[in-house]
A and B are shown apart, each in its own frame.
Chain A
Amino acid sequence: MPVDAEKEITKLYRALHSAQDEIGKTFYRWRQVAVEFAGADANPQDVALRAAEVFGKDIGKSILPRMNWLKGEEGFMMILGKALAGLWNTDGGRATAEKGENPGEVFIKCSRDPWPSWAKQFGVPMEEVALCRERMYQAVLEDVSVFMNISLKIELQKAIPRGQGETILRLYKAE
């Protein structure tokens, strides 16, 4: 039976987006559970940020085997930036890493992000989404910084509600 390329690609495309959708929603389902267990006195945003930190720490461990200083500082920063953008793409976003004007500066730009929509479905303030992304990346960089013996920082520069427009984070090496 000949392969119907359109059918096969459509099947794959749907499966990928369903999986991404479930990953996002699962995060918010667990967020509900965690907030319930944290009790009435806890700030739900703190709970979510703590989760982002735990995610980032673990993701950082996966990144370490690929860290390579032999490509020089600019090359290293670009590889790291691409890894962070790639992570966002896996989560369903459309992100790229672009070289900044200063040496060792990389901008991670996301032009489409499904996470604010999922947050809205679960009644979560959308600004939390951008803060969680920033916190997760900061946690990724903690181990990378110690491992490479340099101080890496990332900061949120622009966040767009509902993921429309462009979200920008600046990755740089602090002196």
Chain B
Amino acid sequence: MAKTLFEWDYSEYPGAKSYPHLFKPIELGNLYVPNRIKYAATEENLNGLDGLITDSGVEYMRQRARGVVGGLCFMQGVFMDEAGKGQGYVGQAAAWDDKFIPGLARIADAIHGEKAIAGFQLMDCGRVGAVEVEAGHGPSTVPQRLRIFKPMVEMTSAEIKEMIQQHVDAARRGIEAGFDAMEISGIVGYLISNFISSYTNRRTDEYGGDIRGRMKAVVEIIQAVKAVCGPDIPVGIRLCSEELLDDVRGNTLEESMETYKMAEEAGADYISCTLGWQESIYPVISRDIPMGNWVHLAKRAKEHVKIPIQMAYRMFKPDLPNEKIGANELDFWEICRSMIADPLMPKKVLEGREEEVRHCVACNLCLARLFRDAPMTCYINPVCAHEANPEFADPAAAEEEKEIMIVGAGPAGLECAAIAARRGHEVHVYDKRDVIGGTLNEAKNAPYGDDELWTCIEYQQVMCEKAGVTFHLGTEVTAELIEEKMPDSVVLATGPVYSKIEGSGGDSAKLVNLLDVMTGKAEVGEKVIVWGNRKPGIGCALHLAKQGKKVTLVGKDKTAGFDVNPSFKWRYMIYMRQNGIVIYNDVDIEEINDEGIVVKSFDGYRWPVNCDTIVVSQREPNESLKKVVQSEGIELFVIGDALIPRNLSSAVHDGYRIGMRI
């Protein structure tokens, strides 16, 4: 009989009726798992530089454990060598010595405290490792494609044996710390995947050659870890079902499926199905990839092995995994970024509170931060990585109840309103538009998945309504209205103003506003200049290029997309190239004339660009109403683009921070 760690009965929960397949039990090896939900091991750079667990790391995991409602909750992968060659992140947890066991036990205890199954992951980062040392290790010395990664040194046979033993020793420490499930990470360019891939394993000894040789080290690790885990602790492995490395002659699809079969033969109790490497030239998880794009790979994996298959990758909502599990095309819904954005997401689904889920917008800021040695943060979840700070995680009730006027129902204003109202303030949100959402009403029309940004507004609307926020839509806030209402505090979240062009012709009829273009209200010619090379300009340029317009993006920033995180920016650069958009960065518009504009570079060169229409997306802070509020002696806060035009993330974070302090 399978071992049961915690009893869970979902029968009375609405989510279990809506998504019955997500909340039905399964056995992993000899372990009973009450549902099909797994928080996938995710690095967050929250631990000490010495690899020791911190309070931040523990509280981060506790929240995710609460979210999986009895399912699997895996802590981040640990590195296992004292030399640090396998360490891929500055705040990665370590397990190369028994001294790490007490810290690891704190995480296992935190997960158990939420009646969830604690998972431990073994992760030598291989080609993506050596973050703190000069060189990494791998099966062969294949140069790095990306300069941010360290040079590789080929492992000797003795070093491979030592690496296998390190997995065994770390697994034993995980078990001693109290973890219930064990996982070996073999994905995205980490050491195990380096051994498996024909791209990075050029060895001619027993650990190289054909796919069986390249899998030898992996098979030995699985068998050795299984031996130390015993019958009651399932051992899984994360493996690439498709490397997306054809351009550098990586494994074939058939070879990838062979690795699945060999892992099963070696004794793996489940496989987490992944795809792509960090070096792949194809996008896998960014917003431009349609939801559910990769789930067919889980089905293919299930056709090759009998053990359970888990998968994440662009499945942010419960309907698809529920359907696929029901159709026996998937066994587990793995969740990573969706639970960075909302750690309680599956719990809310179970409790029938789906509308309260703050959805991930697949921007990959979380990953971008990790590769820049910064702690995890989330684009739209201001609490992420602050779970240990009660001021953030659960803002205290206001000491004095205030009447707060929030001007602007965009993402900054709504976020602020929801938090301030939750803390007991009387909050009134005004907007001159008839609808909430601010400039996201227009921004969501940009191509390549920007409609997903609107989920942020949907969430905020629900949270505002639940907190008792009063809306005054279609009401423009004026000096007279402020004088009439005389609130205790005013929060200006009015959004930006659009820049005037200083050069001659700045009043030209060719000029149109970005917002009017994005909603189709403005007439736009065939040759278009978009003025402003940040995200709103990029979104507009792509929107127009998709309509067949000839678009030139012109802006003052040194590079286009300064406000887009690097993990997503490369997608926009490719799309702009593919759509024939010409980009002039680090320039100003000197003149607008009958033919178009004269562009002037920072170092004085000038050239003409023909156009029929100039779309203004360049933004500036909005100073209106500021003096009125100050002159009345009312407490004033300015947030979002009204303060400094930035991105959606800054608006949400600004709103939250003011909402929790006001």
Using CB atoms and an 8 Å cutoff, list the residues of chain A in contact with chain B: 1-3, 5, 8, 11-12, 60-61, 64-65, 67-70, 143, 146-149
Given contacts A61-B143, A68-B281, contact A3 B249 (CB under 8 A): no
Cα-based distance from A8 to B609 in the complex (angstroms) = 14
Give the interface residue-count category, chain B: 20 to 34
B16-48 residues at the A interface, CB under 8 angstroms: none
Cα-based distance from A147 to B247 in the complex (angstroms) = 11
Cα-based distance from A32 to B143 in the complex (angstroms) = 32
In the complex, besides A3-B606, A67-B247, A68-B247, 12 extra interface pairs with C-beta distance below 8 angstroms are: A1-B598, A3-B598, A3-B608, A8-B605, A64-B143, A65-B146, A67-B145, A68-B248, A68-B281, A147-B145, A147-B248, A149-B199
Cα-based distance from A68 to B280 in the complex (angstroms) = 11
Cα-based distance from A143 to B144 in the complex (angstroms) = 9
Would B141 and A146 count as touching, CB distance under 8 A?
yes
B216-266 residues at the A interface, CB under 8 angstroms: 246-249
Listed from nearest, the 3 A-B pairs whose CB atoms lie closest are: A68-B247, A143-B143, A64-B145
Would B147 and A61 count as touching, CB distance under 8 A?
yes
Would B591 and A146 count as touching, CB distance under 8 A?
no
* B591-627 contact mask (Cβ, 8 Å, vs A): 1 or 0: 1000000100000011110000000000000000000
Q: In the complex, what's the smallest C-beta–C-beta distance from B243 to chain A, in angstroms?
A: 13
Q: In the complex, what's the smallest C-beta–C-beta distance from A5 to chain B, in angstroms?
A: 8
Cα-based distance from A171 to B605 in the complex (angstroms) = 39
Would B248 and A67 count as touching, CB distance under 8 A?
yes
Cα-based distance from A148 to B250 in the complex (angstroms) = 10
Number of A-B contacts (CB under 8 A): 47
Cα-based distance from A5 to B598 in the complex (angstroms) = 12
Would A69 and B249 count as touching, CB distance under 8 A?
yes
Contacts of B598 in A (CB 8 A): 1-3
Q: In the complex, what's the smallest C-beta–C-beta distance from A25 to chain B, in angstroms?
A: 22
Would B248 and A69 count as touching, CB distance under 8 A?
yes
Cα-based distance from A64 to B608 in the complex (angstroms) = 36
Would B605 and A148 count as touching, CB distance under 8 A?
no
Contacts of A149 in B (CB 8 A): 199, 202, 249
For the complex, is B142 an interface residue (Cβ under 8 Å from A)? yes
Q: Please pick, from B144, B202, B607, the residue contacting A64 in the complex, using a CB distance under 8 A.
A: B144
Given contacts A67-B247, A69-B249, contact A146 B143 (CB under 8 A): yes
Would B145 and A8 count as touching, CB distance under 8 A?
no
Q: Can you sample 20 A-B contacts with CB below 8 Å?
A: A1-B591, A3-B598, A3-B608, A8-B605, A11-B605, A61-B147, A64-B144, A67-B247, A68-B248, A68-B281, A70-B246, A70-B247, A143-B143, A146-B142, A147-B143, A147-B248, A148-B248, A148-B249, A149-B199, A149-B249
Would B608 and A147 count as touching, CB distance under 8 A?
no
Would B246 and A69 count as touching, CB distance under 8 A?
yes
Cα-based distance from A8 to B599 in the complex (angstroms) = 12
Cα-based distance from A10 to B606 in the complex (angstroms) = 12
Contacts of A65 in B (CB 8 A): 145-146
Contacts of A2 in B (CB 8 A): 598
Given contacts A3-B598, A146-B143, contact A69 B607 (CB under 8 A): no
Given contacts A69-B249, A148-B248, A149-B202, contact A8 B607 (CB under 8 A): yes
Cα-based distance from A8 to B591 in the complex (angstroms) = 16
* B343-379 contact mask (Cβ, 8 Å, vs A): 1 or 0: 0000000000000000000000000000000000000
Contacts of B281 in A (CB 8 A): 68
Cα-based distance from A11 to B247 in the complex (angstroms) = 41
Q: Please pick, from B142, B605, B606, the residue contacting A147 in the complex, using a CB distance under 8 A.
A: B142
Q: In the complex, what's the smallest C-beta–C-beta distance from B661 to chain A, in angstroms?
A: 44
Q: In the complex, what's the smallest C-beta–C-beta distance from B505 to chain A, in angstroms?
A: 12
Contacts of A148 in B (CB 8 A): 248-249
Contacts of B147 in A (CB 8 A): 61
Cα-based distance from A143 to B147 in the complex (angstroms) = 13
B567-610 residues at the A interface, CB under 8 angstroms: 591, 598, 605-608
* B174-211 contact mask (Cβ, 8 Å, vs A): 1 or 0: 00000000000000000000000001001000000000
Cα-based distance from A8 to B247 in the complex (angstroms) = 41
